[in-house]
């Protein structure tokens, strides 16, 4: 039997019905981002998506588990303000009492930033965290799933997860990579953090079919450092060019993500000698403490923050700000290509 005839085969009725309506859909005309009950969209986000104005998704694990309290709250608010001031609607994404929210209230934001019981939610955790009514910061993986389902096309983060350095012994590879293989979102990141195996991460991105371009560079950025030393095949010099790449990928039905590597200016990077020294100590400390699984990334970030006397936090904030600015420009260029 050919695949084509399956649609009318009574043995496959469920498959057919499922492609017509997804769980959580509400009846009515299918309008991107507005027709679904889950995730819950903040009014400003819904309004912007409805008329095709630019929207940028922001993750919340960087708030809950990446930056130290209480400065993380100030930073989270500043990230949103930075976008809103340029006419782009910010949509910080998180789980609040089990409800996946795209766009948070001030009270939600406070909980994510300050409540110590907030969990780290990756894509695979979403179902359990929702059913269990948990409050959680969403990783790049979980944020991408929710943003895309809401109809948001552009997402800014600090650094993406990736392949960990001891991969051969631990099999520790972030779900960020496999999720980006199946979610068509444009994500702006300063590469991946140097705590990872960067060449291996780039190989995996290639295997997984995730497109990678450098913004005004042909080198993959190194998060705390401007340059990871790894070459990229593609360089883009404007937000407009990136929006055109998104349109081209849509035209061929591409369903994977586009990763835009946006480096820090060299004068803002962490001192490379300090970086190398502290990183070696952090990796050794994680090993000695037997840190495993989802605790690895927060442990290393926290160690580096303390060992650099906060310098890594300043750099992390600069990274996030730069990525948010570029994501705002891309979302604006994208909206201009798609007038409502
Ligand atoms: N970038 C930061 N701080 C962070 C993270 C990224 O500057 O805390 C988070 C992101 O949410 C990313 C996650 O998705 O770390 C990766 O965690 P893991 O390696 O456990 O998948
Ligand atoms: Mn991991």
Q: How far is the CA of 130 from the centre of ligand 2 (A)?
A: 21
Question: Which ligand gives the minimal distance to the CA of 196?
Answer: 1
State how far the Cα of 226 lies from the Cα of 308, in Å rounded to an integer: 17
248, with CB counted inside 10 A (0-12, 13-18, 19+), is exposed
Residue 1 falls within a domain, yes or no? no
For residue 18, the model assigns a pLDDT of: 36
**DSSP secondary-structure letter at 173?**
B
Residues in the chain with pLDDT values less than 70: 1-35
Tell me the CATH number at 168.
Answer: 3.40.1790.10
Q: Report the greatest alpha carbon distance in the chain.
A: 66
For residue 34, the model assigns a pLDDT of: 52
193 annotated active-site = yes
Residue 4 falls within a domain, yes or no? no
Q: Is the CB of 176 under 6 A from ligand 1?
A: yes
Residue 3 falls within a domain, yes or no? no
Q: Which atom in ligand 1 lies closest to the alpha carbon of residue 141?
A: 14
Residue 210 falls within a domain, yes or no? yes
| Number of domains observed in the structure of the chain | 1
Please name the residue whose Cα sits nearest to atom 1 of ligand 1: 159
Please name the residue whose Cα sits nearest to atom 5 of ligand 1: 62
Nearest 5°: phi and psi at 257? -85, 160
Residue 247 falls within a domain, yes or no? yes
SS3 of 200-244:
HHHHHHHHCCCEEEEECCCEEEECCEEEEEEECCCEECCHHHHHH
**Would you call 4 helix, strand, or coil by DSSP?**
helix
Residue 207 falls within a domain, yes or no? yes
59 annotated active-site = yes
Q: Is the CB of 165 under 6 A from ligand 1?
A: no
Residue 5 falls within a domain, yes or no? no
Q: Among 92, 112, 144, which residue's Cα sits nearest to residue 324?
A: 92
State how far the Cα of 340 lies from the Cα of 139, in Å rounded to an integer: 30
Instruction: Tell me which of 80, 101, 120, 193 is the catalytic residue.
Output: 193
For residue 36, the model assigns a pLDDT of: 77
Beta strand 89-96 pairing with 99-102: antiparallel
Q: Is the CB of 164 under 6 A from ligand 1?
A: no
Residue 272 falls within a domain, yes or no? yes
Q: How far is the CA of 34 from the centre of ligand 1 (A)?
A: 28
Q: How far is the CA of 301 from the centre of ligand 1 (A)?
A: 9
Q: Is the CB of 297 under 6 A from ligand 1?
A: yes
The radius of gyration computed from the CA coordinates of the chain, to the nearest angstrom, equals: 20
By residue range, what is the domain housing residue 38?
Answer: 21-337
pTM of the complete model: 0.89
Q: Is the CB of 201 under 6 A from ligand 1?
A: no
For residue 208, the model assigns a pLDDT of: 98
Tokens of 95: 């789980």
């Amino acid at each position: 039997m050919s695949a084509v005839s399956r649609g009318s085969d009574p043995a496959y009725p469920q498959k057919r019905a499922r492609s017509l309506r997804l769980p959580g859909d509400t009846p009515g005309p299918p309008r991107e981002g507005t027709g679904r009950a889950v995730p819950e969209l903040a009014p400003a986000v819904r309004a912007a998506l409805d008329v095709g104005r630019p929207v940028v998704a922001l993750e919340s694990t960087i708030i809950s588990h990446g930056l130290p309290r209480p400065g993380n709250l100030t930073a989270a608010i500043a990230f949103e303000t930075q976008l809103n001031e340029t006419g782009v609607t910010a949509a910080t994404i998180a789980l609040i009492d089990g409800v996946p929210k795209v766009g948070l209230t001030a009270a939600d934001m406070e909980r994510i930033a300050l409540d110590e019981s907030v969990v780290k939610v990756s894509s695979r955790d979403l179902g359990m965290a929702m059913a269990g009514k948990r409050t959680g910061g969403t990783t790049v993986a979980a944020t991408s799933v929710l943003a895309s389902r809401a109809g948001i096309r552009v997402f800014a983060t600090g650094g993406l997860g990736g392949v960990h350095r001891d991969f051969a012994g631990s099999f520790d590879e972030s779900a960020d990579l496999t999720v980006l293989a199946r979610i068509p979102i444009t994500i702006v990141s300063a590469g991946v953090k140097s705590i990872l195996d960067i060449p291996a991460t780039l190989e995996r991105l290639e295997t997984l079919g995730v497109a990678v371009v450098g913004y005004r560079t042909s080198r993959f950025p190194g998060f705390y450092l401007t340059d990871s030393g790894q070459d990229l095949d593609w360089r883009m010099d404007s937000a407009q060019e990136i929006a055109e790449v998104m349109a081209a990928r849509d035209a061929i039905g591409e369903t994977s993500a586009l990763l835009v590597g946006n480096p820090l200016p060299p004068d803002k990077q962490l001192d490379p000698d300090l970086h190398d020294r502290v990183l070696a100590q952090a990796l050794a400390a994680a090993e000695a403490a037997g840190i495993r699984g989802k605790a690895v990334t927060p442990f290393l970030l926290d160690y580096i923050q303390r060992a650099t006397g906060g310098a890594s936090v300043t750099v992390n904030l600069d990274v996030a700000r730069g990525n948010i600015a570029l994501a705002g420009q891309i979302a604006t260029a994208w909206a201009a290509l798609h007038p409502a």
